C-alpha cells in the first residue's frame, strides 16, 4: 500500500481563496478584520512565525500590527499593550507569540487577552468552551488538523484515535476535538508505557511530540491515517516531522508531509479565527 498524501499547502490555498470573499463581504459593510501580534525577544523561529503570520494577513486582505519587545522587557509593559489592544475596535484578534522569556508568567499573559479576541484559543474561557463542545475559537493547529481530516474524508465516529503529546496548545485540544467528533481517543505522552501497543491499534494517529521520525512503520497498523504535527530542524538544516514519512507511507492509508502538511494549516486557521471574530462583531 502507498498512502495518499494529504496536502496541507493545497488545502490552505483553497481555504484562503474563500477567506478573500468573506473579507470582501466585511469590507462592503465598512469592516476590515485586524490581527495584533506581540513578539517578545529575538528567538529566530518566533521571528519567522510572526513574519509569516503578518504576510498571510496581508495576502487575504486583513490588516495586522506587530509589537516587538526586547527579551528583558518588563511584563507590565506587555500587559499594558494587551489592555490597549483589547479596547481597540480595529483589532479583532490578539496573539502573543510563544514561548515568552522567563520573567513572564505566560498563563497570566494569555488570560489578559480578551476571550473575544483570543484567536489562538488559549484563554481558559475558550479552552473551557472547547471542553464543553461549544468552542468560540479552536486552537489553530488542532483546528487545521480537523480540516485536513475532513478534506481526507476521514470518518471519525467510532474510530480509535491516538494523540501523541499532551501540550496545552496541540495535544490536549486535539484530543478534545477528536472526542467531540466521536472518536475513541487515547492520549500518550512521555510517561506512557508500551507506546506501540496504543499506536498499533490506532485508526488515526496525530503525532505532536517534537522528536524527528519518532513514529516508525512498525508502530502503525496497515491503513492508518497519520497526521504529523511535528516540526524538527535536522543538523543539515532540513525540516522533518515526528513521523518517519518514507517508512510509514508504505503502510498508512493517508499521511501528511512535513513540510507542506499541518504547518500551512496552522496560519490558515489563525486567519479563519480572526475573520470569524470580525464577522461575529459585525453580527454576521
Q: What residues are labeled active site?
A: 53, 97, 120
Output 113-118 pairs: Cβ under 8 A, ≥24 positions apart: 113/82, 113/86, 114/86, 116/277, 116/280, 116/281, 117/85, 117/86, 117/91, 117/92, 117/93, 117/277, 118/93, 118/94
CA distance 243 to 6: 14
CA distance 97 to 64: 14
DSSP 215: B
CA distance 19 to 21: 5
At its nearest, how many Å lie between ligand NDP and the CB of residue 241?
8
Closer to ligand NDP by CB, 31 or 266: give it: 266
At its nearest, how many Å lie between ligand NDP and the CB of residue 87?
29
Kind and range of the H or E element at 128?
Answer: helix 124-131
At its nearest, how many Å lie between ligand NDP and the CB of residue 273?
14
At its nearest, how many Å lie between ligand NDP and the CB of residue 77?
26
CA distance 62 to 179: 33
Closer to ligand NDP by CB, 33 or 261: give it: 261
Q: Taking a C-beta distance cutoff of 8 angstroms, is the pair 39, 69 a contact?
A: yes
Parallel, antiparallel, or unpaired for β 239-240 and 232-233? antiparallel
Closer to ligand NDP by CB, 45 or 80: give it: 45
At its nearest, how many Å lie between ligand NDP and the CB of residue 140?
7
Residue 65: phi and psi, rounded to 5, are -135, 145
Residues that bind ligand NDP (CB under 6 A): 141, 164-167, 169-171, 188-192, 195, 208-210, 229-232, 262-263, 266
Amino acid at each position: 500500500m502507498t498512502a495518499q498524501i494529504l496536502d496541507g499547502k493545497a488545502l490552505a490555498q483553497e481555504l484562503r481563496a474563500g477567506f478573500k470573499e468573506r473579507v470582501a463581504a466585511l469590507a462592503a459593510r465598512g469592516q476590515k478584520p485586524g490581527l495584533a501580534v506581540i513578539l517578545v525577544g529575538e528567538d529566530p523561529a518566533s521571528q519567522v512565525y510572526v513574519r509569516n503570520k503578518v504576510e498571510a494577513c496581508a495576502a487575504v486582505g486583513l490588516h495586522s500590527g506587530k509589537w516587538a519587545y526586547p527579551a528583558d522587557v518588563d511584563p507590565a509593559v506587555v500587559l499594558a499593550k494587551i489592555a490597549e489592544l483589547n479596547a481597540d475596535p480595529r483589532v479583532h484578534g490578539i496573539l502573543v507569540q510563544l514561548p515568552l522569556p522567563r520573567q513572564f508568567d505566560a498563563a497570566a499573559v494569555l488570560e489578559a487577552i480578551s476571550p473575544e479576541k483570543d484567536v489562538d484559543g488559549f484563554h481558559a474561557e475558550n479552552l473551557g468552551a472547547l471542553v464543553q463542545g461549544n468552542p468560540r475559537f479552536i486552537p489553530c493547529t488542532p483546528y487545521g488538523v480537523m480540516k485536513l481530516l475532513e478534506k481526507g474524508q476521514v470518518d471519525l465516529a467510532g474510530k480509535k484515535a491516538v494523540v501523541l503529546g499532551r501540550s496545552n496548545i496541540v495535544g490536549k485540544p486535539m484530543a478534545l476535538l477528536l472526542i467531540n467528533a466521536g472518536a475513541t481517543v487515547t492520549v500518550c505522552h512521555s510517561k506512557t508505557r508500551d507506546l506501540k501497543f496504543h499506536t498499533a491499534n490506532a485508526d488515526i494517529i496525530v503525532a505532536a511530540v517534537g522528536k524527528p521520525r519518532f513514529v516508525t512503520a512498525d508502530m502503525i497498523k496497515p491503513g492508518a491515517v497519520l497526521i504529523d504535527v511535528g516540526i524538527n530542524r535536522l543538523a543539515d538544516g532540513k525540516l522533518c516531522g515526528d513521523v518517519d514519512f518514507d517508512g510509514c507511507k508504505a503502510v498508512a492509508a493517508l499521511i501528511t508531509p512535513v513540510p507542506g502538511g499541518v504547518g500551512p494549516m496552522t496560519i490558515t486557521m489563525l486567519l479563519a479565527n480572526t475573520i470569524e471574530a470580525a464577522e461575529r462583531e459585525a453580527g454576521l
